[in-house]
């Protein structure tokens, strides 16, 4: 079941979205509608300290929509329960289930391929979900993947990488404390399917800034769409 509020007119056609799933996990966020009913679609979610209204997600959603794609940017279950702060311990399983519900909701909205993307914690949860559900989506967009905690390069978050059967596209800033470009490249070698790194110069973990806001979203979207073909 999907409930919608009156449409908000922005640069693209966007409306608040609220759906329910059989697992009683609400899907809450914003739907950017595609011009064609058979368009490809992407679900985008946020990092541990943010929500689906983050500047990065909004900018990427508008760029994807301008390229003809439907976009659902959604709040993870932990954020729906806790308006601020990081995810409580033990949130991962429910957050992954929430992403699965969001993908299901997106498949009801458009008839094309479905991709799944997330920033930082959201990308990690998306990749873990895809590793255990290889047919869930056609590709992953991993924005600032938190490969390890800052200054703890030995504590790698890659145990699930060998199980990934979903193509993965990484976007990573040059000064991101959660991994260097070289560390991301090394981690990609653990993934048995196609993957790619899009390095972004002069930026850190948040990726988007006042300096690159006008160009970065389109740059990411064009590169990702080239990757998925």
SS3 labels along 157-190? CCCCHHHCCCCEEEEEECCCCCCCHHHHHHHHCC
pLDDT in tens, 46-103: 999 999 999 999 999 999 999 999 999 999 999 999 999 999 999 999 999 999 999 9
Name beta bridge partners: 114: 41
- pLDDT tens per residue across span 114-129: 999 999 999 999 999 9
| pTM score over 0.75 | yes
Domain 2-228, second-level architecture: 3-Layer(aba) Sandwich (3.40)
User: 């209204």: which residue's tokens?
Assistant: 53
Q: Could you tell me what percent of the chain has a pLDDT over 70?
A: 93
Region 167-189: what's the mean pLDDT?
A: 98
Q: What is the mean pLDDT of the chain?
A: 93
At residue 13, the pLDDT reads: 77
Average pLDDT over residues 35-53: 96
Q: How far apart are the C-alpha atoms of 75 and 104, rounded to whole Å? A: 15
Q: What tokens appear for 166 in the block?
A: 């979903």
For residues 73 and 42, is the Cβ–Cβ distance under 8 A? no
Who contacts 227 (Cβ-Cβ below 8 Å, separation ≥6)? 139, 167, 169, 196
Judged against a pLDDT cut of 80, whether residue 9 lies above it is answered with no
pLDDT band at 1 (very low <50, low <70, confident <90, very high): very low
Q: How confident is the model at residue 35 (pLDDT cuts 50, 70, 90)?
A: confident
């Amino acid at each position: 079941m999907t409930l919608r509020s009156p449409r908000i007119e922005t640069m693209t056609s966007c409306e608040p979205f609220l759906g329910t799933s059989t697992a009683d996990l609400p899907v809450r966020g914003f739907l950017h509608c595609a011009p064609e009913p058979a368009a490809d679609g992407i679900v985008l979610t946020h990092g541990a300290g943010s929500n689906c209204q983050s500047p990065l997600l909004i900018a990427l959603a508008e760029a994807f929509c301008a390229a003809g794609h439907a976009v659902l940017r959604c709040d993870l279950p932990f954020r729906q329960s806790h308006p601020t702060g990081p995810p409580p311990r033990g949130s991962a399983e429910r957050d992954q289930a929430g992403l699965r519900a969001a993908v299901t909701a997106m498949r009801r909205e458009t008839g094309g391929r479905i991709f799944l993307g997330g920033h930082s914690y959201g990308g990690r949860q998306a990749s873990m979900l895809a590793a255990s559900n290889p047919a869930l989506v056609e590709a992953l967009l991993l924005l600032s993947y938190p490969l390890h905690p800052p200054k703890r390069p030995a504590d790698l978050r890659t145990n699930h990488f060998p199980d990934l059967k979903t193509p993965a596209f990484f976007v990573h800033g040059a000064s991101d404390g959660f991994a260097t470009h070289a560390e991301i490249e090394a981690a990609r070698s653990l993934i048995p399917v196609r993957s790619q790194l899009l390095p972004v110069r002069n930026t850190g973990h948040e990726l988007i800034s006042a300096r690159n806001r006008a160009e970065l979203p389109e740059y990411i979207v064009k590169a990702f769409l080239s990757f998925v073909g």
